[in-house]
Amino acid sequence: QVQLVESGGGSVQPGGSLRLSCAASGNISSINVMGWYRQAPGKQRELVAIITSTTSDGSTNYADSVKGRFTISRENAKNTVTLQMNSLKPEDTAVYYCNAIGLTRGLSGFAKWGQGTLVTVSE
């Protein structure tokens, strides 16, 4: 079993900042990709940012809508991923989900989602 636990959501005014964290635990041998997705009311889930572990720094990819405002980072040794969100806009309001893709100790592949954390940006 692999579990993802998210933290850090909440309410903030436009222009504010929030930091989301996600910790993976359980039967994990390695995690290739960790990322954040979001789903706003009435919309499909969309990619926010992902980070790989193929290099020591990790390659990153961001949705155009968050480039320059959000920063994703990870600590491979702790199986954690963090999303620093600055200059938040009302359109960033959504439930944010952590995602991890990797291998268990038995070398079976897994793709797991966290339970989601709500981010609300409003006056």
- Span 66-92, pLDDT tens digits: 999 999 999 988 999 999 999 999 999
Does position 114 have pLDDT exceeding 70, yes or no?
A: yes
The per-residue pLDDT for range 17-26, each reduced to its tens digit, is 999 999 999 9
Place 56 in a pLDDT band, splitting at 50, 70 and 90: low
Place 8 in a pLDDT band, splitting at 50, 70 and 90: very high
In terms of Cα–Cα distance, which of 89, 53, 91 is closest to 72? 53
In terms of Cα–Cα distance, which of 70, 24, 31 is closest to 47? 70
